[in-house]
């Protein structure tokens, strides 16, 4: 037995600690085998890589085992399979950072020896069930996937619309195709109407709300592009969302901040309920400006902040102007924090890469950080902040920043964060703002911040929302899941 598990340190530790007592083999362990077989037979319902588990091969091996040596190998094989399944179902199939460097998640991988000890001490079926993520979002995604798979098996949503714009009063084949797709998607009760009436207009508006489009009830080109996406494409989005839920299968905090980059929104959550919701702007699409995905803790906010420019922004936006005597709003700062007169600097000696100074913009109405920033110190220097460019929040796709997240309602956001440490959060914030002094306000309790990227997600009523894959991340993740065999196969 020791030889059979020697290549797996976790299993070797467990079996050494239990004096190599079998967990799976032998008639007395039939309940454990049965619980594992049941879980593996249902793994496909979670989009897990069932081919790699080879359940049929395992069952055959138990029928054919004859020698003690074979029994030891089968014991090790079963434990390895159990551990792999447990990791996949509870913390995800992929290592996301290997696929997309901007996804920096510490996956909740179980300790192998602890996992095995826990299983041996528990009722087998209940333990296997406990491995499945318990977050309501995971259950709702599973339900949405089941319903969508049924629709795909029934032929999908029908032909695509070819007319580029449809609205009230229109009639004809394109309206019928639109009507039928809306019926199959669940936005419209069954009807025989062949004209674009108030019922179709209401259904289109409902569809638009679930896809972050202006809910005007007009099937314009942007709306039809979304309506024409296939059920298979939507299933791919849900598959990735399910995997992403497994990566975040940890307590998120009774109060936490949830940033959905693909939805361009930021929320303060209390006991899984939205306390505050604000429109956001995220990093631009070039790889070096995309907002990364990670979790950290917010510890303070800074009112009337100055802005120290990242080196990348100096090079991309300000260097030519700076060396030509422009960008006068920026102060040049040395390593000791002192302001350096520009007249003392020969800019021709430097490039953005070797420039030995920092650039800083003082607090004020034109400062890109606006009136407040919200800090959760991290290696990527990402934070939330106000912005003087208010018009950008009116756009649908809001990927404009150099990586940080801009909030449309930063003052309301501050009031809500401060509401747990003062009876007058508005007064505290506004008096600090009026002082015009750069001021740090520590949060009495740190708040977990989760920067996520969900192109498919549900609401509390089970409604399924879809968003554009603005960074192209989910497409790459789906390809990786497909290579791993961790997708839903529709035969």
DSSP for 179-242 reads: HHHHHHHTSS------B--HHHHHHHHHHHHTTTS--SS-B-HHHHHHHTS-HHHHHHHHHHHH
pLDDT at 491 over 70: no
Average the pLDDT over 437-452 and give the result. 98
Distance between alpha carbon 62 and the CA centroid of its chain, in Å?
A: 41
pLDDT one-digit tens code per residue, 91-134:
999 999 999 999 999 999 999 999 999 999 999 999 999 999 99
Average the pLDDT over 438-464 and give the result. 97
Structure tokens at 73: 């190998």
> How buried is residue 324: exposed, middle or buried, by Cβ count under 10 Å (0-12/13-18/19+)?
exposed
State the pLDDT confidence band at 324, using cuts at 50, 70 and 90. confident
Q: Are 139-235+468-483 and 253-452 equal in CATH topology?
A: no
Q: Given 211, 296, 385, 450, which residue is catalytic?
A: 385
pLDDT one-digit tens code per residue, 378-388:
999 999 999 99
Share of the chain above pLDDT 90, in %: 87
Average the pLDDT over 277-288 and give the result. 94
Q: Which CATH architecture has domain 139-235+468-483?
A: Orthogonal Bundle (1.10)
Looking at residue 490, its pLDDT comes to 74
154 DSSP 8-state letter: T
Neighbours of 479 (CB within 10 A): 13
Looking at residue 145, its pLDDT comes to 98
Average the pLDDT over 399-417 and give the result. 97
Reported pTM: 0.93
Average the pLDDT over 62-83 and give the result. 93
Looking at residue 441, its pLDDT comes to 98
Distance CA 192, CA 335 (A): 73
In the residue annotation, 385 being an active-site residue is answered as yes
Looking at residue 199, its pLDDT comes to 97
| Residue-averaged pLDDT of the chain | 95
Distance CA 105, CA 252 (A): 13
pLDDT at 480 over 70: yes
In the residue annotation, 411 being an active-site residue is answered as no
pLDDT at 1 over 70: no
Q: Given 404, 411, 446, 450, which residue is catalytic?
A: 404
CATH numeric code, 253-452 = 2.40.440.10
State the pLDDT confidence band at 316, using cuts at 50, 70 and 90. confident
**What does the domain layout of the chain look like in residue ranges?**
9-132, 139-235+468-483, 253-452
Distance CA 467, CA 490 (A): 23
Looking at residue 65, its pLDDT comes to 87
pLDDT at 7 over 90: no
298 DSSP 8-state letter: E
Least confident of 135-139, 161-165, 240-244: 161-165
Average the pLDDT over 168-175 and give the result. 95
Q: Nearest Cα to 476, choosing from 148, 87, 98, 85? A: 98
């Amino acid at each position: 037995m020791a030889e059979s598990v020697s290549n797996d340190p976790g299993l070797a530790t467990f079996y050494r600690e239990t004096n190599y007592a079998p967990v799976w083999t032998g008639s007395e362990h039939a309940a454990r085998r049965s619980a594992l077989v049941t879980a593996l037979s249902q793994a496909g319902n979670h989009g897990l890589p069932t081919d790699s588990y080879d359940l049929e091969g395992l069952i055959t091996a138990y029928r054919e085992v004859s020698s003690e040596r074979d029994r030891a190998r089968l014991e090790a094989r079963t434990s390895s399979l159990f551990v792999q399944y447990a990791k996949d179902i509870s913390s995800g199939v992929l290592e996301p950072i290997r696929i997309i460097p901007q996804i920096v998640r510490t996956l909740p991988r179980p300790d192998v020896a602890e996992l095995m000890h826990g299983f041996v001490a528990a009722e087998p079926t209940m333990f296997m069930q406990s491995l499945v993520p318990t977050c309501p979002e995971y259950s709702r995604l599973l339900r949405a996937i089941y319903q969508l798979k049924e629709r795909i098996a029934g032929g999908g949503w029908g032909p695509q619309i070819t007319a580029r714009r449809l609205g009230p009063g229109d009639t004809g084949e394109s309206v019928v195709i639109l009507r039928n797709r809306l019926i199959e998607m669940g936005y419209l009760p069954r009807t025989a109407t062949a004209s674009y009436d108030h019922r179709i207009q209401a259904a289109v508006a409902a569809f638009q709300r679930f896809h972050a489009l202006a809910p005007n009830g007009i099937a314009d080109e942007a709306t039809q592009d979304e309506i024409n996406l296939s059920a298979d494409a939507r299933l791919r989005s849900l598959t990735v969302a399910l995997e992403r839920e497994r990566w975040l299968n940890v307590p998120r905090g009774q109060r936490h901040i949830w940033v959905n980059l693909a939805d361009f929104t930021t929320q303060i959550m209390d006991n899984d309920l939205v306390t505050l919701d604000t429109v956001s702007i995220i990093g631009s699409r070039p790889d070096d400006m995309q907002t990364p995905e990670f979790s950290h803790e917010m510890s303070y906010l800074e009112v009337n902040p100055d802005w120290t420019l990242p080196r990348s922004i100096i090079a991309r936006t300000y260097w030519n102007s700076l060396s030509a005597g422009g960008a006068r709003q920026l102060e040049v700062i040395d390593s000791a924090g002192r302001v350096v007169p520009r007249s003392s600097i020969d800019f021709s000696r430097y490039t953005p890469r070797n420039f030995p100074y920092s650039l800083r913009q003082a607090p004020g109405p034109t400062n890109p950080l606006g009136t407040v920033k919200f800090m959760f110190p991290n290696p990527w220097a990402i934070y939330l902040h106000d912005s003087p460019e208010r018009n950008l929040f009116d756009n649908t796709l809001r990927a404009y920043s150099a990586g940080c997240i801009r909030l449309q309602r930063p003052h309301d956001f501050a009031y809500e964060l401060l509401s747990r440490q003062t009876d007058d959060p508005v007064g505290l914030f506004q008096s600090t703002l009026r002082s015009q002094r750069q001021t740090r306000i520590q949060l009495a309790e740190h708040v977990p911040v989760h920067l996520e990227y969900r192109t498919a997600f549900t609401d509390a009523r089970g409604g399924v929302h879809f968003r554009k894959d603005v960074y192209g991340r989910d497409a790459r993740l789906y390809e990786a899941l497909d290579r791993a065999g961790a997708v839903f196969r529709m035969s």
